[in-house]
């Protein structure tokens, strides 16, 4: 997630901008830059890499100025490079902007603007905005920005400077966070509170479609329709800087769990054409003829990403009718898989740098397979080497235990499966439309699934001393059980095993003893009765069953000790919702047991060795 700062006031701007950017480092970034207004000109300095590199570039330069904007970039459109780093300028050097978000219609706008003679220096969607502002310039920055934004679909938090209006700074947002720090003879803009905390504890939190016109002594807030917002509430920050980086949450993991509705929305953004019942995956360049000829799919990944891959098998085999194998990446290349140019490999990796996943992908490519990557990190090795990339747009994941990366990987798998079904015509338009409508509900439903802290805390009190736990489920629930068990193991250190519920009686049932917690997912209706039978098998041996079921299920409580609920959705999409209570259970268990949630022992966020 990019970080934005802006300053106008009595202090020298550059040190304030750099301090703010440093406070936003936790959001993850690959390049950074600042723009200042100096002697009637805009001056931009930017570099790839860490802020230290930017500071080195700035060293010894005359940067005396009292107004500027800065940015840390987490690459989306276009690889990490100096040209793609923000701030971006228009052709004439009159305007400069920093942006966080995604401009969905950037390709069409870019073509239009190129046609009108605008020259682009980067591959970013952001630069479109600078040229659009230039195109609509009417001599008044406020109305110019409003006109330009009317053309834009997508999300934005934006800071804009005009060299001819050095006394004001414009900030505006839609679907990306932006705050205005209120100082004495100085004001600030920032993506997040930590950036301004050294200077002020007072802020306005901008809402969608709100614009702030910021001068050193005044902040005026209007809607994009020009309506003045009087008496905007001043937010008084009560956190310290460390808590502020986590948005007030105690840990990054909890913050990332709660970011899932937004992350899911971002993954879906621009990819659902609900009117025409079509999945839009323009980034997949794999020709239609080749998609039609795919004879076999391998999905390969590690850990949580492998669990997301398992869902692809269910969906592609059922809806596209192509055989799919899912392999742990560290095993895949050592078993000499049968691969040719009618084989498609899907690799799933949050970081895009996992050594085993990369090695598996290279092996498959060498054997002639076409590779589609699902990843979160633009410019990562996986993204660079794959033939096609579907980005999950989850924003940086900082906690070691993966949460929002998993749910957004699931969304990407769904989109890809439906896209293949669309191309191969194994589903009707009407059927696809039904799935897309259900997908569109997921962000809101994920929000509802998050609201069970109280129930989960009670379970934690009852079971935090357990040293063993089992996770059961059938069909897609079995794959979610694997992810639930992994989450519990890695952060709470409780030994947990996941089983396809029907398999338990073939050995593991011997481990079920009095009072052992057995978390059972019961969302798959076609195997529901069989799941209930498996629940009976374990309760008869003294287990305590915690079920995860739909909130419409009125029967389940008769068979189990506790129920956690999720909203009703399509069969395939339940994992996105049912994993949420499991993530929260693992989180609160770990807290109760005094574990270091964000940095569990022996683990690294990205495993770049074999």
Helix residue ranges per DSSP H, 70-179: 106-115, 126-135, 141-149
- In 3-state terms, what secondary structure has residue 524? coil
Question: Given the rule CB under 6 A, which of 5-13, 51-59, 220-228, 343-351 is the region that contacts ligand F6R?
Answer: 343-351
429-449 vs 574-592: helix crossing angle, rounded to 10? 20
- Residue number with CB closer to ligand F6R (243 or 328): 328
Give yes or no for residue 100 binding ligand F6R (CB under 6 A). Answer: no
Q: How far is the CB of 374 from ligand F6R (least distance, A)?
A: 9
Contacts of ligand F6R in 475-504 (CB under 6 A): 486, 490
The catalytically annotated residue of 2, 174, 262, 302 is 2
- In 3-state terms, what secondary structure has residue 414? helix
Question: Given the rule CB under 6 A, which of 196-204, 256-264, 346-354, 383-391 is the region that contacts ligand F6R?
Answer: 346-354
The residue with its CB nearest to ligand F6R is 303
Q: How far is the CB of 482 from ligand F6R (least distance, A)?
A: 11
SS3 per-residue string spanning 423-468: HCCCCCHHHHHHHHHHHHHHHHHHHHHCCCHHHHHHHHHHHCCCCE
Q: How far is the CB of 419 from ligand F6R (least distance, A)?
A: 21
Q: Is 558 a catalytic residue?
A: no
64, burial (CB in 10 Å: exposed 0-12, middle 13-18, buried 19+): exposed
Q: How far is the CB of 345 from ligand F6R (least distance, A)?
A: 15
Q: How far is the CB of 382 from ligand F6R (least distance, A)?
A: 8
- Residue number with CB closer to ligand F6R (137 or 598): 598
Q: How far is the CB of 102 from ligand F6R (least distance, A)?
A: 21
Residue 436, CA distances (Å) to 353, 433, 446, 517 in order: 31, 5, 16, 36
The interface mask with ligand F6R, positions 591-610, x = CB under 6 A, is ---------------xx---
Question: Given the rule CB under 6 A, which of 347-355, 412-420, 559-567, 585-593 is the region that contacts ligand F6R?
Answer: 347-355
Q: How far is the CB of 392 from ligand F6R (least distance, A)?
A: 10
- Residue number with CB closer to ligand F6R (68 or 303): 303
Residue 52, CA distances (Å) to 55, 87, 540, 597 in order: 5, 17, 62, 29
Helix residue ranges per DSSP H, 162-247: 241-245
Give yes or no for residue 260 binding ligand F6R (CB under 6 A). Answer: no
- Residue number with CB closer to ligand F6R (301 or 546): 301
C-alpha closest to that of 601 among 496, 490, 497:
490
Give yes or no for residue 200 binding ligand F6R (CB under 6 A). Answer: no
Give yes or no for residue 354 binding ligand F6R (CB under 6 A). Answer: yes
Sequence-distant contacts of 380-386: CB under 8 A, at least 24 apart: 380/349, 380/351, 380/352, 380/353, 381/352, 381/353, 382/347, 382/349, 382/352, 382/353, 382/354, 382/357, 382/358, 383/352, 384/79, 385/358, 385/361, 386/347, 386/361
Question: Given the rule CB under 6 A, which of 87-95, 188-196, 350-358, 585-593 is the region that contacts ligand F6R?
Answer: 350-358
Strand arrangement of the beta sheet that strand 388-391 belongs to: 324-328, 296-301, 343-349, 370-375, 388-391
- Residue number with CB closer to ligand F6R (97 or 410): 410
Give yes or no for residue 351 binding ligand F6R (CB under 6 A). Answer: yes
Q: How far is the CB of 29 from ligand F6R (least distance, A)?
A: 18
Q: How far is the CB of 79 from ligand F6R (least distance, A)?
A: 18
Distance CA 435, CA 456 (A): 30
Q: Is 605 a catalytic residue?
A: yes
Distance CA 356, CA 353 (A): 9
- In 3-state terms, what secondary structure has residue 209? coil
Distance CA 459, CA 463 (A): 6
φ/ψ (deg, to 5) at 343? -105, 135
The count of chain residues that interact with ligand F6R, using the rule CB under 6 A, is 15
Distance CA 160, CA 141 (A): 9
What is the distance, to the nearest Å, from the Cα of residue 596 to the centroid of all Cα atoms in its chain?
A: 23
Q: How far is the CB of 478 from ligand F6R (least distance, A)?
A: 18
Among 176, 349, 408, 531, binds ligand F6R (CB under 6 A): 349
Among 176, 300, 350, 417, binds ligand F6R (CB under 6 A): 350
Facing residues of 546 across strands?
Answer: 519, 562
Question: Given the rule CB under 6 A, which of 169-177, 345-353, 466-474, 572-580 is the region that contacts ligand F6R?
Answer: 345-353
Question: Given the rule CB under 6 A, which of 318-326, 349-357, 442-450, 577-585 is the region that contacts ligand F6R?
Answer: 349-357
249, burial (CB in 10 Å: exposed 0-12, middle 13-18, buried 19+): middle
The interface mask with ligand F6R, positions 382-401, x = CB under 6 A, is -------------------x
The interface mask with ligand F6R, positions 290-319, x = CB under 6 A, is ------------xxxx--------------
Among 100, 144, 402, 445, binds ligand F6R (CB under 6 A): 402
The catalytically annotated residue of 202, 505, 599, 605 is 605
CB atoms under 10 Å from CB of 551, counted, come to 13
- Residue number with CB closer to ligand F6R (354 or 534): 354
Residues known to be catalytic: 2, 605
The contact set with ligand F6R (CB under 6 A) reads 302-305, 349-351, 354, 357, 401-402, 486, 490, 606-607
């Amino acid at each position: 997630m990019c970080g934005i700062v802006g300053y106008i006031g009595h202090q020298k701007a550059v040190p304030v901008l750099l301090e703010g950017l440093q406070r936003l480092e936790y959001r993850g970034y690959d390049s950074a830059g600042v723009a200042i207004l100096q002697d009637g000109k805009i001056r931009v300095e930017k570099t790839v890499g860490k802020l230290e590199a930017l500071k080195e570039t700035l060293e010894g330069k005359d940067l005396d100025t009292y107004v500027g904007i800065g940015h840390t970039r987490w690459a989306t459109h276009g690889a990490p490079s100096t040209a793609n780093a923000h701030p971006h300028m228009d052709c004439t050097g009159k305007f400069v902007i920093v942006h966080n978000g995604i401009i969905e219609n950037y390709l069409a706008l870019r073509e239009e603007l190129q046609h009108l003679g605008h020259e682009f220096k980067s591959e970013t969607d952001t630069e479109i905005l600078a040229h659009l502002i230039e195109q609509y310039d009417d001599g008044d920055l406020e109305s110019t920005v409003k006109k330009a934004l009317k053309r834009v679909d997508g999300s934005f938090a934006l800071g804009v400077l005009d060299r001819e209006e050095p006394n004001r700074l414009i900030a505006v947002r839609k679907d990306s966070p932006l705050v205005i720090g209120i100082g004495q003879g100085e004001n600030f803009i920032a993506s997040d509170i930590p950036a301004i905390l050294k200077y002020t504890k007072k802020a306005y939190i901008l809402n969608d479609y709100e614009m702030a016109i910021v001068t050193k002594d005044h902040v005026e807030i209007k809607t994009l329709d020009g309506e003045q917002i009087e008496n905007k509430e001043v937010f008084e920050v009560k956190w310290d800087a460390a808590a502020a980086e986590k948005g007030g949450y105690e840990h990054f993991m909890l913050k990332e769990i709660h970011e899932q509705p937004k992350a899911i929305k971002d993954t879906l953004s621009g990819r659902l054409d609900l009117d025409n019942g079509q999945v839009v995956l323009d980034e997949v360049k794999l020709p239609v003829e080749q998609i039609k000829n795919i004879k076999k799919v391998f999905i390969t990944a590690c850990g949580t990403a492998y669990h997301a891959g398992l869902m692809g098998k269910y969906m592609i085999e059922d809806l596209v009718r192509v055989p799919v194998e899912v392999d742990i990446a560290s095993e895949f290349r050592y078993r000499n898989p049968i691969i040719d140019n009618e084989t498609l490999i899907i690799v799933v990796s949050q970081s895009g740098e996992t050594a085993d996943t990369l090695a598996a992908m290279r092996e498959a490519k060498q054997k002639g397979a076409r590779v589609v990557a699902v990843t979160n990190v633009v410019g990562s090795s996986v993204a660079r080497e794959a033939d096609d990339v579907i980005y999950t747009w989850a924003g940086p994941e900082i906690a070691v235990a993966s949460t929002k990366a998993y749910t957004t990987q699931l969304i990407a798998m769904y989109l890809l499966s439906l896209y293949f079904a669309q191309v191969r015509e194994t589903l009707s338009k009407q059927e696809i439309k039904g799935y897309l409508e259900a997908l569109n509900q997921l962000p809101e439903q994920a929000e509802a699934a998050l609201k069970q802290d109280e129930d989960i805390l009670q379970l934690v009190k009852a079971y935090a001393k357990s040293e063993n736990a089992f996770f059961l489920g059938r069909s897609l629930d079995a794959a979610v059980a694997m992810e639930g068990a992994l989450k519990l193991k890695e952060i709470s250190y409780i030994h947990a095993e996941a089983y396809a519920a029907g398999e338990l009686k073939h050995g593991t049932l011997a481990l079920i003893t009095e009072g052992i917690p057995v978390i059972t997912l019961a969302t798959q209706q076609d195997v529901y009765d069989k799941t209930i039978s498996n629940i009976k098998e374990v309760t008869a041996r003294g287990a305590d069953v915690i079920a995860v079921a739909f909130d419409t299920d009125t029967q389940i409580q008769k068979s189990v000790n506790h129920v956690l609920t999720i909203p009703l959705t399509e069969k395939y999409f339940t994992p996105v919702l049912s994993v949420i209570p499991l993530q929260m259970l693992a989180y609160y268990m770990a807290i109760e047991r005094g574990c270091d949630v964000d940095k569990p022992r022996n683990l690294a966020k990205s495993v770049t060795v074999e």
